[in-house]
Structure 1
Amino acid sequence: MAMVPKVSPLVLYAFLFLSLKVAIGEIPSSSPFSFIKPLQGSKKGDEVKGLYNLKKYLKRFGYIDDLPYNSTSPEANYFSDQLESAVRTYQTNFNLSPTGVLDFDTVSLMMKPRCGVPDIINGTNWIRRRLVPHYSFIPGNPKWPDDKDVLSYAWAYGTPYEFVRTTKMAFQQWSGWTRLSFNDGTDYRSADLKFHLFAGEHGDGQAFDGPGGIIAHSFEPTEGICHFDSEEEWAEVGVYPYGVDIQSVVTHEIGHLLGLGHSGVPTAVMFPAIGYGETKRLLDNDDIQGIRALYP
């Protein structure tokens, strides 16, 4: 039998540390949001190639109401008052310095994989209803009716088992803080909450964009539909280069299925973005306050 050479614990620790440093939070160059990185430092009055794509990004998540021109228009890549206002609002929502400038912290957050549910819906900024970032509800405060104490859930047929397994653990987080309980033995077609993996365009007008970018989205109660991007590098356990933690994202999307919107608190499960190798499997106090307010 060949002898395995001994490795100094110090050398091994250094190797692991460097590996984790590279893996956690690193954005692949092929990410749909990688176009944002070269825009760092841009400010009002600048004309920079790629700003039109940023405007579309901010419109996608509710920060810009309308773009009445296309990518070939003279104003497409101009850093306008409208764009500065949208960037300030984004920064304020997530407790960044509201300078209106695309600084390092703003660009870094914008580039992270994130949920496809908008932060601002129909012009209402639910994250900033209070003086500080906080939990929010989906507009209209939709929730499951008082006479509905048990919600059934299921993944579509053929889903890899690691998604099914981690979903059960994610529901345990929410069941401890609501009157609701959750049943996982149900046929997909009759389940209250339906989970499905899709790639690209999949019929709901919210196409996925490949690895990175938008990783999942959900619909409000009582539609009960949740979609995940099948092209992501999904990870079940531990740190994985360019891996998105399944359980963390499922936990976040369950919050939407129950009626919660996004939170401006970075440690909250309902914060819209998550880094590669990052885990958010436990509810933050902000998440708990939100779900208890919705389901007293």
Structure 2
Amino acid sequence: MPGAPAVLRALLLCGLAAPPPARPEPLLRSRDRPALEPAPPRRAQPIADLPAAQRFLSKYGWADAPPGPRGPPAAALAQAVRRFQKVNALPASGRLDAATLAAMNRPRCGVPDTRALPPPAAPPRPKRFLPPPPPPGAPPPEVAAPRGVPRAFAKRTLSWRLLGEGASGQLAEAEQRRILRLAFRMWSEVMPLDFREDLAAPGAAVDIKLAFGRGRHLGCPRVFDGSGQEFAHAWRLGDIHFDDDEHFTPPTSDAGISLLKVAVHEIGHVLGLPHTYRAGSIMQPNYVPQEPVFELDWSDRKAIQKLYGSCEGSFDTVFDWIRKERNQHGAVRMRFSTYFFRNSWYWLYENRNNRTRYGDPIQILSGWHGIPTQHIDAFVHLWTWRRDERYFFKGNQYWRYDSDKDQAYTEDEQGNSYPKLISEGFPGIPSPLDTAFYDRRKQLIYFFKESLVFAFDVNRNQVLDSYPMKITEVFPGIEPQNHPFRNIDSAYYSYAHNSLFFFKGSAYWKVVNDKDKQQHSWLPSNGLFPKQSISERWFDICDVHASTLTV
């Protein structure tokens, strides 16, 4: 049984000075405290008649106000029903038919559809003050923050905590925390916010607190109704509560309600997103059974980035990894994957979907064996009719990578040991490098160092006589002052775009290609188009907090 301080913390979770319960609440338990026997789950009362439907429409923002003794006027009720039917893809008859009642009885989030939850009572917490209900007769708007209250967090690293006294009894507490870490990470993968679990700071200093409860729970003004209907609720820039009468399950389960999916939805509310009825969105008010692969869809990504912006940042190296595959008829086809490296992490970019792979970034140490684990300077794929060699460069050394064994060579088939000095394998090339790329048609490797570029002939194993040259001479700017000039982060030839790009900081410059010249003959050969933002062409390459890398 929790002591008085624990109960007090629970009562303060919603920012309320609520009176203590008459008896210990069974919700304060976890699998780590087996002495507390969980109470059997309650079932929500089904919405089966007009009064229950009126309460539902009022609770979730479809009716203008709670019904009086005689309920709302018939015309207002019919209008509310029609609005609800329309967004649920039902015939907008205004009649309370069986299909409409069934839609009302589906498991759902407790946040109203047309307005945010009302702010808690005293003591006030400014970050929880939310929009008032819309005026009578107004259509369902997007939930907006009231004047003077931010729509989004101003900080870029947010702390969170599953309250120990509010842990569920359905899963081990460690499993609950792991699922919540994954839920926060899913948002961090598509926006420039990090989430950090904080178990040490005072409760008031934690940005987002999460807890499970039943019925009247944790001093909260919202009462859970039992299993089958409302499964959770949340406050913008505030906290999250889960109804512990629901059967929450881990992501690997096909039964019950996925705690991961519900947590991702409720975190969306905390971050400032309203409900939407777009198919595929995680912010739909009703629970949709989890698909085999669950991730945020395009609309959710764009919605959160409208509040917080896109992920920006520089990269150590970017490259396409070419591989050969045989189809069912035995024909060989070339496939490629795009990789972005930054510090000790990397992302695989799915060009077909124009996004990063779900679950990235990953540590270089885990995915690339035997190469330096951070701050790679360059990658080169030397590809001719006779040679197929991949090299990573860092400092004054380079490593050859065995794509078949997925590890760096210690010794290759010619007896060369690795790593080797750049000066030995590529005479005349300085180190450390800024970046490099291989021009397959000319069979030249272009090495970049500060403001100079070196063209290296792979057949004669030497730098061309006319090099080194200024980068601006070999790759002139279409607009002379719109140019990286020196210290390029990465020179990347993209097979998806059939173009060469120079990356520096958060910007890129596209190099004029043959198609550009055919369309506009006045363009200079190898000219650089004016710079653009990397995040506008390659989406959602976002850091995550180090504590979530192994989730």
The 3 A distance-change label for structure 1 pair 156 and 217 is same
Q: Following superposition, which runs of at least 4 residues in structure 1 exceed 4 angstroms of deviation? A: 124-129
User: Is 1:218 matched with 2:196?
Assistant: no
- Matching of residues 111-190 of structure 1 within 5 Å: 111-121=105-115, 122-123=133-134, 128-129=140-141, 136-140=142-146, 142-146=150-154, 148-157=155-164, 159=167, 160-187=173-200, 189=203, 190=205
1:192 maps onto 2:207 in alignment: yes
Deviates more, 1:137-146 or 1:173-182: 137-146
Partner of 1:91: helix, strand, or coil? helix
Query: Could you say which structure has the greater relative contact order, defined with CA pairs below 8 angstroms and 6 or more residues apart?
Result: 1
Which residue pairs with 2:47 in the alignment?
35
Aligned residues: 237
Change (3 A) 1:127 1:157: farther
Distance 1:235 1:156 in 2: 19
What is the CA distance between 1:281 and its match in structure 2?
A: 3.9
State the Cα distance separating 1:66 from its structure 2 match: 2.3
| Percent identity (aligned) | 30
Q: Taking structure 1 as reference, are residues 278 and 102 closer, same or farther at Cα in structure 2, changes over 3 Å only?
A: farther
The answer on 1:88 being equivalent to 2:82 is yes
Distance 1:89 1:269 in 2: 21
> C-alpha distance in 2, partners of 1:183/1:143?
21
**Contact 1:216/1:226 (8 A) holds in 2:** yes
Distance 1:210 1:287, change over 3 A: same
User: Retained in 1: the 8 A contact 2:198–2:206?
Assistant: no
Question: In structure 2, do the counterparts of structure 1 residues 88 and 213 end up closer, same or farther at CA, with 3 Å as the change threshold?
Answer: same
C-alpha contact 1:137 1:261 (8 A) present in aligned 2 = yes
Q: Does the C-alpha gap of structure 1 residues 79 and 107 become closer, same or farther in structure 2, counting only changes over 3 Å?
A: farther
CA displacement at 1:104 relative to structure 2: 5.0
Larger % of helix: which? 1
Distance 1:157 1:264, change over 3 A: same
Contact residue 234 and residue 246 of structure 1 kept, 8 A = yes
Q: Deviations over 1:204-223 (max 9, x none)?
A: 210111111211111112xx
Deviations, residues 20-66 of structure 1 (Å, cap 9, x unaligned): xxxxxxxxxx7425233xxxxxxxxxxxxx20111011100011122
2: CA distance, partners of 1:201 / 1:173: 30
Alignment deviations for residues 162-182 of structure 1 (CA, whole Å, 9 cap, x no partner): 321111111121112211111
Given the alignment of the two structures, is residue 207 of structure 1 paired with residue 201 of structure 2, yes or no? Answer: no
Aligned twin of 1:65: 64
Query: What pairs up with 1:72-83 in 2 under 5 angstroms?
Result: 75=70, 80-83=74-77
Let me know the Cα RMSD of the aligned residues. 2.6
1:109 to partner: Cα distance? 2.4
Indicate the SS of the match to 1:100: coil
Q: Distance in 2 between matches of 1:68 and 1:261?
A: 25
Aligned to 2:478: none
Compared with structure 1, are the counterparts of its residues 168 and 62 closer, same or farther at alpha carbon in structure 2 (3 Å cutoff)? same
Whether the 8 Å CA contact 1:91–1:98 is kept in 2: the answer is yes
More strand by share: 2
- Quote the Cα distance in structure 2 between the aligned partners of 1:284 and 1:126: 29
Using the alignment, how far apart are the partners of 1:98 and 1:138 within structure 2?
26
Over residues 190-248 of structure 1, what are the superposed CA-to-partner deviations in whole Å (9 max), with x where a residue is unaligned? Answer: 32110011111122210111111211111112xx21111111111113211xx111000
Most deviating of 206-215 and 249-258: 206-215
Q: Is the 1:61–1:118 Cα contact (8 Å) retained in structure 2?
A: yes
Query: 1:161/1:97 Cα in 2 relative to 1: closer, same or farther (>3 Å)?
Result: farther
User: Which moves more between the two structures, 259-268 or 183-192?
Assistant: 183-192
Q: What is the one-letter code of the residue matched to 1:193?
A: I
Conservation of the 8 A alpha-carbon contact between 2:210 and 2:240? yes
**Aligned partner of residue 47 in structure 2, secondary structure:** helix
TM superposition shift of 1:278: 3.7
Rate the CA distance shift 1:116–1:175 in 2: closer, same or farther, 3 A: same
Shift of 1:102: 3.5
**Structure 2 vs 1, CA of residues 127 and 230 (structure 1 numbering), >3 Å: closer, same or farther?**
farther
